[in-house]
Structure 1
Amino acid sequence: MSPAYSITFAVLGIKPEPYAVTPILSARVGIAALAEEPVHAIALRAQVRIEPRRRSYTDEEAAGLTDLFGPRERWQDTQRTFLWMHCATTIPGFTGGAEVDLPMQCTYDFEVAGSKYLHALRDGTVPLRFLFSGTVFIRGEGGFAVQQVPWDREDTFDMPVSVWRDLMAAHFPNSGWVRLTRETLDALSAFKHERGLLGYDDAVTKLLTAGRDAT
Structure 2
Amino acid sequence: MSPSPPQAPALRIEVRGVEPVAPAAAPALRFALNVSALPGSHQGEGEPEVRALTLTTQIRIDATARGYDEDARQRLKELFGPPEAWDRNLSSLLWTQTVTHVPAFTGGTIAQVTVPCTYDFDVAAAKYLHGLPDGEVPLRLLFTGTVFYLDDGRLQAACLPWDTEADFRMPVTVWKELMDRHFPRTAWIRLERDTFDRLYAHRTRHTLPGWDDAVRSLLETSGG
Q: TM-score range by the shorter chain?
A: over 0.9
Query: Which residue is 1:173 aligned to?
Result: 184
The one-letter amino acid paired with 1:33 is A
Query: Which residue is 1:112 aligned to?
Result: 123
* Partner of residue 155 from structure 1, selected from 150, 166, 181: 166
- CA distance in structure 2 between the aligned counterparts of 1:114 and 1:8, rounded to whole angstroms: 27
* Partner of residue 22 from structure 1, selected from 23, 26, 43: 26
- CA distance in structure 1 between the aligned counterparts of 2:80 and 2:6, rounded to whole angstroms: 46
- CA distance in structure 2 between the aligned counterparts of 1:140 and 1:178, rounded to whole angstroms: 54
Matches within 5 A, 1:85-124: 85-124=96-135
- Checking the alignment, whether the CA contact within 8 Å between 1:87 and 1:105 is kept in structure 2 is no
TM-superposed deviation, 1:175: 0.5
Superposed CA offset, 1:71-112 (max 9, x none): 111111000112111122111110110012100111011111
Q: Which moved more, 1:157-166 or 1:179-188?
A: 179-188
Give the structure-1-normalised TM-score: 0.94
* Partner of residue 55 from structure 1, selected from 37, 59, 66: 66
Query: Which residue is 2:56 aligned to?
Result: 45
- CA distance in structure 2 between the aligned counterparts of 1:206 and 1:117, rounded to whole angstroms: 28
| 5+ long unaligned stretches in structure 2 | none
TM-superposed deviation, 1:167: 0.5
Query: Which residue is 1:198 aligned to?
Result: 209
- CA distance in structure 2 between the aligned counterparts of 1:185 and 1:175, rounded to whole angstroms: 18
SS of equivalent to 1:75:
helix
The one-letter amino acid paired with 1:100 is A
The one-letter amino acid paired with 2:129 is L
| 5+ long unaligned stretches in structure 1 | none
Counting aligned pairs with the same residue, the percent is 41
TM-superposed deviation, 1:28: 0.7
Distance change in 2, residues 1:138/1:206 (3 Å): same
Give the structure-2-normalised TM-score: 0.90
Which entry has the higher C-alpha Rg, 1 or 2?
A: 2
TM-superposed deviation, 1:69: 0.6
Q: Which moved more, 1:24-33 or 1:35-44?
A: 35-44
- CA distance in structure 2 between the aligned counterparts of 1:187 and 1:86, rounded to whole angstroms: 37
Aligned residue-pair number: 213
Does the alignment pair 1:130 with 2:141? yes
SS of equivalent to 1:19:
coil
* Partner of residue 9 from structure 1, selected from 8, 13, 24: 13
The one-letter amino acid paired with 1:207 is L
